[in-house]
Amino acid sequence: MSAKTTYHHGDLPSALVRAAIELLEEGGATALSLRAVARHAGVSTAAPYRHFPDRNALLSAVAAVGYQELGADLIAASPSPSTPDDLAAIAVAYVQFALKRPGMFRAMFTEQCDDTSPDRVAAVAAIHEYLNFIVKQTVPARDPEPVATAMWGLVHGLAFLFLDGKLDSSSDDVVADRVRATVTAILAL
């Protein structure tokens, strides 16, 4: 479809979010504007404003999708975590998500989003609850919240080190081995 051709979508908000995700993955956050998303989705430049009042609202919708996808990837990595090895597998899935979806991942964590977006707030809360749950299951501690925050900080930092080329990401195995070794080393302290 050419950029000049427009048509009506059955679910325009979802189509706009998909277009935004595609633009993020192709060109990063600098490529994202409501006009660019409209062109990419094949709708008029005014159409997005009916569903997203500004860029931050659209980014919040993208972030909500990202958190849901990330959560699904983490659960798939270890559906019933109970050991530190399971926690390491979840950490690997987190970093691999960042490497697989760098535009979305950066938008989720480095772009300003609307903190009042119900979908985004719910998706972030679900990730926090999941992190606390897996820490309770895999690393017995009196207060799992600080341990969950420390693990998230570690794995999140690793994700950005890989994304920014500071660590070798030449293959999935290289990444997985480095993440597992790092998580295991911290848990052994």
pLDDT digits (tens, 9 = 90+) for 58-116: 999 999 999 999 999 999 999 999 999 999 999 999 999 999 999 999 999 988 878 88
Q: Where in the chain is the domain with CATH 1.10.10.60?
A: 1-52
1-52 — its CATH code?
1.10.10.60
Does the structure show a pLDDT above 70 at 14? yes
Give pLDDT, residue 187. Answer: 86
Burial 80-107 (b: 16+ CB within 10 A, else e): ebeeeebbbbbbbbbbbbbeebbbbbbb
Q: Which amino acid is at 57?
A: A
What separation in angstroms does the CA of 71 have from each of 26, 76, 120, 125, 132?
23, 9, 13, 11, 13
Look-up of token digits 């535009």:
103
Mean pLDDT of 5-12: 63
Residue in 181, 189, 163, 173 with CA at minimum distance from that of residue 88: 181
Q: Which amino acid is at 149?
A: T
CA distance 101 to 73: 12
Does the structure show a pLDDT above 90 at 4? no
DSSP 81: -
Give pLDDT, residue 1. Answer: 44
Q: Where in the chain is the domain with CATH 1.10.357.10?
A: 54-187
Residue in 140, 144, 150 with CA at minimum distance from that of residue 91: 150
Instruction: Determine the topology of domain 54-187 in CATH.
Output: Tetracycline Repressor; domain 2 (1.10.357)
CA distance 81 to 88: 10
Are 76 and 93 in contact, with CB atoms under 8 Å apart? yes
